[in-house]
Amino acid sequence: MTTLLHTPDRKAPAPVETTVPSEGVGKRTLPGAFRSEAKRLTRKSFTGVGLALVVFFSLMAAVVTFFAGGEAGPGAGVAVDLESAQGIVAALSMAGNLVGIVALSLWAAAVASDYSTGWVRLMVAAEPRRWRLLFGKLVALSGFTIVATLVTTAIAVAMAYLLAGPAGVSTAAWSAGVVGTVLSAWLNFTLAVLGWGVIGFTVAVISRSAIVAIAGGIGYMMVFEGLLGLLAESATTYLPGTVLNAVAAGGTAVMAYGTAVLLATGFVLVALAVAFAVFAPRDITS
């Protein structure tokens, strides 16, 4: 037996198994890579902070939508007629970019923390097929994001009913096809937020730094696209922020929904291809 040490953090180790299996005891699977990620993502500091931010921005978007007429400045979503059938989910359209930034930040933090903790060493040594690691993380983060968008949607709809009266908005048109309207809005919103998440994911894979990824993502959206849009709106039509905004809103006056989804899919696929291409051959020196 190993020497016993009588300090509070030490106890006698158990005897070690004396037989060693020739092939190891593990059987690595793709679902295992996802579940491993999900296990670490469900920590309070990640899900707690993430959901708190989502709730905060959802409430803010709802208030802005009903009391500021949707004129919230750079980064705000697309304003809709509150008294139309879409009025019930108007806050979702407004929250698209705000929650998108939260998603970008959380996805970037999840990727970058693997480097800051050195966990990436363990992951790659345990599963050398690196695409599985990225895929597992992608699926886990997508699952977390879908939960977040469900929460956002629930808040947006509840707040719509709560704020309509005080804001003097008629809800007469809201009841027609309400389930379809909400589901459709949730889907669009989710697709847009996932798009933002993938951007954060890719920048973090490249930079290995949450700060660089978050600052870069927010700076691009708020400063570059935001200011460029103020100078020449047409110049930003096909840029990621505007395209994802159009997806969240279910299409805009300048971009049809189908076009927006197609472009967003293209951006996401390119971003993922870059992430996989960078990570697969990278030296793990962290």
Partner 1 sequence: MQASNKGMAISAHGLTRRFGDLVAVNDLDLEIPAGGVIGFVGPNGSGKSTTIRMLLGLIKPDEGEGSVLGASIADPNAYADRVGSLVENPALVLNISARANVESMALLRGVPRSRVDDVLATVGLDDRADDAVADYSLGMKQRLGIAIALLSDPELLLLDEPTNGLDPAGIVEVRGLIRQLADGGRTVVVSSHLLSEIEAAADYLIVIRFGELLFSGPLHELLEHEQRFVDVETEDGSDRETLAERYRSMGLEVEPENGGLRVLVDPDRAGDLNRAAIDLGIVLRRLVPRSETLEDVFLRMTAGSQDAPLNRVAA
- By CB under 8 A, name the binding residues for partner 1: 1-3, 5, 7, 9-29, 32-33, 35-37, 39-40, 43-45, 113, 117-129, 136, 281, 283-285
The token pair at 63 is 């208030």
Place of tokens 């990824």: 213
- Complex with partner 1: residue 53 or 123, whichever CB lies closer: 123
Amino acid letter, residue 16: V
Please state, in angstroms and as integers, the Cα–Cα distance from residue 268 to each residue in 24, 57, 61, 94, 189, following that order: 38, 24, 25, 22, 15
Place of tokens 């009025």: 87
**To the nearest whole angstrom, how small is the minimum distance from the Cβ of residue 131 to partner 1?**
11
- Complex with partner 1: residue 39 or 178, whichever CB lies closer: 39
**To the nearest whole angstrom, how small is the minimum distance from the Cβ of residue 111 to partner 1?**
14
**To the nearest whole angstrom, how small is the minimum distance from the Cβ of residue 195 to partner 1?**
27
Helices (H), the chain: 30-41, 44-67, 90-117, 119-126, 130-167, 178-207, 210-218, 226-231, 240-248, 257-279
For 243, residues 6+ apart whose C-beta sits below 8 A from its C-beta are: 255, 260, 263, 264, 267
Q: How many CB atoms sit inside 10 A of residue 260's CB?
A: 26
- Complex with partner 1: residue 24 or 168, whichever CB lies closer: 24
- Complex with partner 1: residue 68 or 122, whichever CB lies closer: 122
- Complex with partner 1: residue 171 or 286, whichever CB lies closer: 286
**To the nearest whole angstrom, how small is the minimum distance from the Cβ of residue 120 to partner 1?**
8
**To the nearest whole angstrom, how small is the minimum distance from the Cβ of residue 15 to partner 1?**
7
- Complex with partner 1: residue 100 or 136, whichever CB lies closer: 136
Phi, psi of 172 (to 5 degrees): -55, -35
- Complex with partner 1: residue 44 or 71, whichever CB lies closer: 44
**To the nearest whole angstrom, how small is the minimum distance from the Cβ of residue 112 to partner 1?**
13
Q: Is 237 buried (19+), middle (13-18) or exposed (0-12) by CB count in 10 A?
A: middle
First to last CA, the chain: 35
Closest CA to 198 of 98, 274, 282: 274
The token pair at 277 is 């291409």
**To the nearest whole angstrom, how small is the minimum distance from the Cβ of residue 55 to partner 1?**
21
